[in-house]
Amino acid sequence: MIRKRLGPLGLAIVLFFLSILAVGPLTQWWGSLYIKPGVIETASENLIPTLFQGTLLQSMALKDPTLVPMYGSSEFGGGGPYNPTKLFAGKPTDWTPYLIGHAGSLDLIQTLYAGAQDLKGKKIVLSLSPQWFNNGGIAQNTFAANFSALQAYKLLFNPSLTIQTKTALSERLSQFNEVKHSYPILEGLLKYYGRSDPESRLMEAFYWPIARVEMASLEIQDTLKTIKVIQKLSAQEIAKNASDKSWKTLPDWSKMQEIATADVGKNENNNSFGVNNGFYKKNIPNLNKLKNSLVKGRLYPSPEYSDLNLLMRVLKDEGADPIFLIQPVNGSWYDFTGFPKQQRQKYYSQVREMADHYGDALADFSGHEYDKYFMNDPSHPSEKGWLEIDETLDKFVHQKS
């Protein structure tokens, strides 16, 4: 009698799990119906942080060959009319970027952005910032503010990634308090993932179905958040972004450079550091304290290089076609603060070597440290700087792989 009951009970349990697992993808399919033409471009222009930790909008963007994912951080908030979302709005050269990231989106966070998706054959841009590469690497609070458990699960269940890559990522993610304290199921799966001993294999098998259920729950939450954001976007902006690209053409690059240089010059005319007037005026009272204040500054070694290596491994496994953007620092300002030149050069050369090892393209602007008007402050490109970056990225997008 007991054996007869176990069969239906087991079947009921299996059907229960399968129904839960199906809810997440079905909800995301339902959410995709809200993503009409122009929505993704409008969301990208508005840099909405709640969307960066999801997967729905990015997965939809990847289906459009004219949208190029661009991962970065705080530099995405600058550039004025030469911010790539604004310059390439309307796809005047047949593409526009989908910006993913804000302040705090360091290499490990970008690894989650990338590892949660299918990037095979997809051109993508990854913007690196020198200031990430400090002695401690990404801080616990920065990680917590930008971490996405949904992306971590998607990464672990991504069939394109090797077991070795996933195991390395599991070990790295397990080091953060946000994972340990907020996601015990994920922590358990990460702890035992990819290990060959019998106990670990048994525990991984135990956590696997529970993790899939939690991932489905997170997919539902992502869908609801995405729909909520979409409903608040400007209908006028969406309509404009959905219109025919003929509404906009770009002037000649050299002509735009003349205009951008003149505009930046007007806003950087009260100092010799190549920073904007507002930044300099704000720091005038502290100039004596700032002088030679960073003589012990370091960009190498740093745990951030290991995280960058993980990012490059993920992109290699997925078969993506990436270009890494090396932003410069403001050489004049860094010299004033005493930050060692050799440390800056070590950072630049290390990134070059790593990109070369993986066969990744580089948009290397490290030689612009002392270029007049290229920077807006110590670490962010000006409008002129962004325009030069835009031209390089436009060439990359149109270059055949």
C-alpha distances out from residue 176 to 102, 142, 146, 182, 202, Å: 20, 10, 12, 10, 24
Residues of the chain with pLDDT under 50: 1-7, 9-10, 12-13, 15
The Cα 284–Cα 279 span in angstroms is 9
Give alpha helix (H) positions in 116-234.
140-146, 149-156, 163-173, 177-182, 184-192, 198-232
- Cα of 120 vs its chain's centroid, Å: 17
Predicted confidence at residue 206, as pLDDT, reads 93
Gap between the Cα atoms of 372 and 268, Å rounded = 10
DSSP 100-119: E--TT--HHHHHHHHHTS--
Residue 1's pLDDT is what?
Answer: 46
Token pair of 86 as six digits: 């604004």
| Per-residue model confidence (pLDDT) at position 373 | 96
Query: Count of domains in the chain?
Result: 1
CB atoms within 10 A of CB 228: 11
User: What pLDDT score does 241 carry?
Assistant: 87
Rounded Cα distance, 322 and 66, in Å: 15
**Do the Cβ atoms of 233 and 40 come closer than 8 Å?**
no
Cβ atoms of 361 and 385 closer than 8 Å: no
- pLDDT value at residue 240: 87
Which helix or strand (DSSP H or E) is residue 364 part of? strand 361-364
Strand partners, 363: 325
Residue-range definition of the domain harbouring residue 367: 2-398
CA quadruple 60, 66, 67, 69: dihedral sign: positive
Alpha carbons 269 and 264: distance in angstroms, whole number = 9
